[in-house]
Structure 1
């Protein structure tokens, strides 16, 4: 949190961060702040202490609010605080009174999901929205849907998620995370004064998944794929180590067939950074079988119903597992490829770059090199290795020299 003299000129130019919100405290009026969000929006607010806790009172966005008007409003808020008032709580109470009898937790969840923004005020991925709608419908609505959110206690939330965790710990954690996000958003939006999730921890103990497919299992899965659009999508997963949703939502506009690159825009990446995927001979063969943009439309893997990409894939994955006799999930493919790359001698940084895992912040700050040539060589070597595995070759270590160009 930086202290600066806010001026009519710099409130429009003070820099933000791509991964978090930044608060600037006014040097003229302590407590008066300007918040810059990752999306670029700018909001005036007042920070004050009450009963040993920091409170934040939102004044409004700029534009349309001018600095002079916002600073004058901030002085009034701080004056009320010195008299013992709690402007933020009073503001929330007034809003609750206006909406009394209208807001339930069910309607609050729907409003939260309709905005479709994450904690950094960026659009949610469609798959996230889909999963959260399912959680609301299956778990939250039956338990609390008709309840007023301010009446729900911390004990009720704890009992609710711990009961789910007895049988489904992973699912219980997802339910709790959504509840926490909804209540936090409601507090930040001044719809509620407090969240019952504060101080609670995830109820389920999760063990990180470590499933890696053996050569025999890869061969069985590959043979069970058969033909069709989804089969080609799974093959591309094996050849690129991309995330399942990144592959399934791929567009022809992202693919450079001449230079053999697949450029995934930041909006579709988990880390919100654009990602370049070199296309090996095996990957190019898949694209050739898929046809051309003119023939197949916008999506590499179009849905057989509707105009979008493949979405409902659970039944197809189940059929592949049954035919192959192998228990696996699509996300295990990515871990399998990462493990095999290291077995082949591919360096840690190149392997991580292929998976689009961001290096530590200090390294990103000073080392801007993108090892695309090394990534290309590694994926080409993996494509050849995968071809041998599928053909029946037994597993053995292969060292691939990848000298930096």
Structure 2
């Protein structure tokens, strides 16, 4: 097939065919072809043979790929062929690897194969990855992600939500370690990257007046969300543990929750006071719905942000002033502090909260196998009685007086 010595000017002026396409071969680099179509598109390719079979390697479109760059790429491909390699197959392999080891694919693989199986909060990991990390890095190969890339992403997120940046850093760190175990990576790009802000331990507990205001706010809120918050106040379980409570987990005054839903990854039997049992028994049952707290009869309740806004509003109106910053998780701390104030021992408070014994406490870890079930039940009942005295002191005093008579 005839070829000509192409020049940059010639490539620019070559006229596309009226119909179909036309190939112009370069005389300087054997195998380099400029293909022109009737639509006016010009593109470069390199043709060669492997075991007698013709192959064509795409090098890019003109003018994005100049004549000089096309020749350089063609020479590299020609050298590879002379070494016994197949540039087309190599490119396909590279693209497959890129697709499999691109960040988006790896992140979704991590969520599906690891987070969903081992993390109670896998949905939050998935949400953060999809919202923040995948849009930033897309299909970029994980091997090409550098520490600088991580820092730039975290700094960008931290401008608006520094705590979210810290969570993203933690999720990325776990994901990259998972990839190292699978020999996709050698080193994690998160290594050496500090949190965007220093984490701090919250110490917020609700005062007696705030507890009363919250209880009254839940009654005003009503419905499933109101009942679920009262359940949180009386039991001290975590929000998601309560939200996903199932009817088949209830056994009288106990709620047996599986390890998959517990932060510590252990099965846990939460003791329920008479107040908590009444809350649960007051919930309607939906046919074929396993969840105690549901608004649609199909899935557990969700969308807590609007509920929290209403509670803050109702509490502030009850208190006569804006309620100070608090979170639903603070109710666990409030219950624990309240139990301590009622004289409950620390090991029983840990049992109520579902906390594991301190690993440094050899006696607690290896020798003390007492369940503290009876003590925990007595503790939550004492807390329920304390709440009742706070919420309706006159009713409690009248009842105690009638019992004495």
Q: TM-score, normalised by structure 2?
A: 0.67
1:106 and 2:81 matched: no
Alignment partner for residue 336 of structure 1, among 330, 334, 337?
Answer: 334
1:300 and 2:292 matched: yes
Aligned to 1:153: 146
Do 2:289 and 2:299's aligned partners in 1 also have CA atoms closer than 8 Å?
A: no
Helix, strand or coil at the partner of 1:267:
helix
Aligned to 1:290: 283
- Structure 2 Cα separation of the partners of residues 144 and 229 of structure 1: 40
Do 1:246 and 1:268's aligned partners in 2 also have CA atoms closer than 8 Å?
A: yes
Aligned to 1:318: 309
- Structure 2 Cα separation of the partners of residues 295 and 100 of structure 1: 48
Consecutive unaligned residues in structure 1, runs of 5 or more: 1-95, 394-405
By how many angstroms is 1:166 displaced?
4.7
Alignment partner for residue 244 of structure 1, among 233, 239, 247?
Answer: 239
Greater shift, 159-168 or 353-362, is seen at 159-168
By how many angstroms is 1:139 displaced?
1.5
Aligned to 1:142: 135
Aligned to 2:186: 193
- Structure 2 Cα separation of the partners of residues 101 and 110 of structure 1: 14
Please list, as runs of the form range in 1=range in 2, the aligned pairs for 1:2-401 lying within 5 A after superposition. 97=94, 99-102=96-99, 103-117=101-115, 122-125=117-120, 128-226=121-219, 227-257=222-252, 260-291=253-284, 297-304=289-296, 307-325=298-316, 326=323, 327-361=325-359, 362=362, 363-391=364-392
- Structure 2 Cα separation of the partners of residues 145 and 234 of structure 1: 39
Consecutive unaligned residues in structure 2, runs of 5 or more: 1-92, 317-322, 395-405
Render the CA deviation track for 1:125-164: whole Å, top value 9, x for unaligned: 2xx2221222123221232224222111112212322343
Larger radius of gyration: 2
Aligned to 1:84: none
- Structure 2 Cα separation of the partners of residues 323 and 311 of structure 1: 20
- Structure 1 Cα separation of the partners of residues 288 and 94 of structure 2: 54
Q: TM-score, normalised by structure 1?
A: 0.67
By how many angstroms is 1:170 displaced?
1.5
By how many angstroms is 1:266 displaced?
2.0
- Structure 2 Cα separation of the partners of residues 296 and 352 of structure 1: 35
Render the CA deviation track for 1:220-257: whole Å, top value 9, x for unaligned: 11111132111111101111111111111111111112
Do 2:270 and 2:354's aligned partners in 1 also have CA atoms closer than 8 Å?
A: no
Bigger helix share: 2
- Structure 2 Cα separation of the partners of residues 273 and 108 of structure 1: 28
Q: Cα RMSD over matched residues?
A: 2.5
- Structure 2 Cα separation of the partners of residues 177 and 301 of structure 1: 31
Helix, strand or coil at the partner of 1:99:
helix
Count residues with an aligned counterpart: 292
